[in-house]
Amino acid sequence: MLHFISVSFFVALSLSLLCCARDPFPFSPSSPSLPISGKCFPSLFGFGDSKTDTGNRQAFFPFESRSEGPPYGRTFFGGPSDRFCNGRLVIDFQAQAYGLPLLSPYARGLGSDFRHGVNFAVSGSGCIPNVADSVFYLTRQLNQFKKLKALYIDNYATDKSYLSPSEYIGGGLYVISTGENDYRAGINSMGLSSEEVKEQLVPKVVEITYSTVKELYKEGARKFQVVGIAADGCISMMLTRVPHEEPKDLDALGCLTSVNDYVQYHNELLFAAVKSLRAELPDAHVAYGDYFGSNVGILVNASNYGFEETRKACCGVGGNYNYNPVVQCGQTGEVEGNNVTAYSCEDPSKYINWDGIHLTEHFYELIALDFLHGRFVDQPSMLPSSCVLNFSSFNTYPKFGKSFPALKPF
């Protein structure tokens, strides 16, 4: 059991392409050496925001995303990889551990390999329409999945070399990780208090997530990982933008108590929704990933994992937390009459915060290792006995292997 711890043209063009594009369908293998069917999951599908987005934001809004330029991607990819990170995300580590290729973004279309799954997550998106800053909110991502499913079935009818639709859809793992952007918008744009976020936004976000799982189930999905929200009160951007003048405004870890209060409320409601889904969908496996618990565990033991900065951003400029919304990571601009550039730190692995909004590859790897080993996860194992998790591409596992015993995976 888990314990909770204390726009424009491109938009119209993208939507029209998604509605009308059919052929050729991008299921050609990008890496022939990879098996068509993994021993853990045959396919992987991602839904959510920048924690999961592997390139949809850039594809939908080209030349507008900071993730297209340096220093993004510097650690693992050697350059920009359209991820808001210095390297890999949690879902990248999951794919590698399951023996699958990194997920192609849905919006990339032609030239992508969708045979092992698809990523629908879009940076900046949320659950509630017209609240977060992306038009590709969770329900729209669900609709994109439905279109992809129809195209896959059509494609399979003429080429049986692909996985059967029942294996591709029914055997895949569906990762849903979203919600932060709704609440950040509530605080930073709508001017809501923490209590107002809890009252006005949290129930809606949880209800939409719950409904999305049920809709995916109707489409044939059976294996889900529904992920809670991280400790957003420890993010450089929130620490910069939310006033905290009184000692009670920060907890023992130096994080915003008001923000983490609504985060934990969200997670409690989401976990309750997951338990309801299990009762309503008896042949489904619905795992709950306690991101907050894993996050706090990393903060408490930060030095053991090589972190030297837990709240300052690696890539940024100015202020107590090395974050400025006017000049963000990789940008040059004027601050208080001075021309400044937001550079990256020398070693991102020593930081939890990457650019003040998103986190570093090292942090995401630790979250992935927790989830892959069943820590901070509530649900009996859904992995087949033939599954052997592959950590050969991980950086942290060889170093902290004894700290990550081979526990029961989710």
Does the pLDDT value for residue 9 go beyond 90? no
Distances 298 to 6, 11, 49, 125, 369 between C-alpha atoms, Å: 14, 38, 22, 26, 12
| Distance separating the N- and C-terminal Cα atoms of the chain | 13
Res 349 pLDDT > 90: yes
Please indicate whether residue 355 is annotated as part of the active site. Answer: yes
Across 144-165, average pLDDT: 93
Q: Which CATH code fits 39-297?
A: 3.40.50
User: Strands 338-341 and 332-335: what pairing?
Assistant: antiparallel
- Of 236, 290, 349, 358, the catalytic one is 358
Work out the percent of the chain whose per-residue pLDDT is above 90.
74
pTM value is: 0.88
pLDDT at 109: 77
**Per-position DSSP letters for 163-178, written without gaps between them:** PPHHHHHHSSEEEEE-
| pLDDT grade for 129, boundaries at 50, 70 and 90 | very high
Which of 56, 54, 142, 68 minimizes the C-alpha distance to 101? 54
Q: How far is 209 from 122, CA to CA, in rounded Å?
A: 15
- Check whether 356 has a pLDDT greater than 60: yes
Annotated catalytic residue: which of 14, 43, 50, 125?
50
Asked whether the beta carbons of 86 and 71 are under 8 A apart, the reply is yes
Q: Give SS3 for 89.
A: coil
Model pLDDT, residue 111: 59
Rg of the chain on CA atoms, in Å: 20
pLDDT tier, 385 (very low <50, low <70, confident <90, very high otherwise): confident
Domain ranges within the chain, ordered by starting residue:
39-297
Please say if 358 is a catalytic residue.
yes
Per-residue pLDDT, 171: 95
Phi then psi dihedrals of residue 339, to 5 deg: -85, 120
* Beta-ladder partners of 212: none
Positive or negative torsion for Cα 121, 126, 129, 131: negative
With cut-offs at 50, 70 and 90, classify the pLDDT of residue 38: low
- Segment 306-312 shows an average pLDDT of 97
125 pLDDT exceeds 90?
A: yes
- Packing angle of the helix pair 361-372, 90-97 (nearest 10 deg): 50
Distance of alpha carbon 173 from alpha carbon 187, whole angstroms: 33
Q: Which listed residue (355, 362, 373, 378) is catalytic? A: 355
* pLDDT confidence of residue 386: 84
Axis-axis angle for helices 202-218, 257-280 (nearest 10)? 30
| Structure confidence at residue 113 as a pLDDT band (50, 70, 90) | confident
- Kindly tell me if the per-residue pLDDT of 405 is higher than 60: no
Residue 5 has pLDDT above 80, yes or no: no
Cα–Cα distance between 55 and 68 in angstroms, integer?
A: 9
Q: Is the model more confident about 343 or about 62?
A: 343
C-alpha distances in Å from residue 106, one per residue of 27, 38, 45, 216? 12, 20, 10, 17
Tell me the per-residue pLDDT of 244-298, one tens digit each, with 9 for 90 and over.
989 999 999 999 999 999 999 999 999 999 999 999 998 999 999 999 999 999 9
How does strand 285-289 pair with strand 377-378? antiparallel
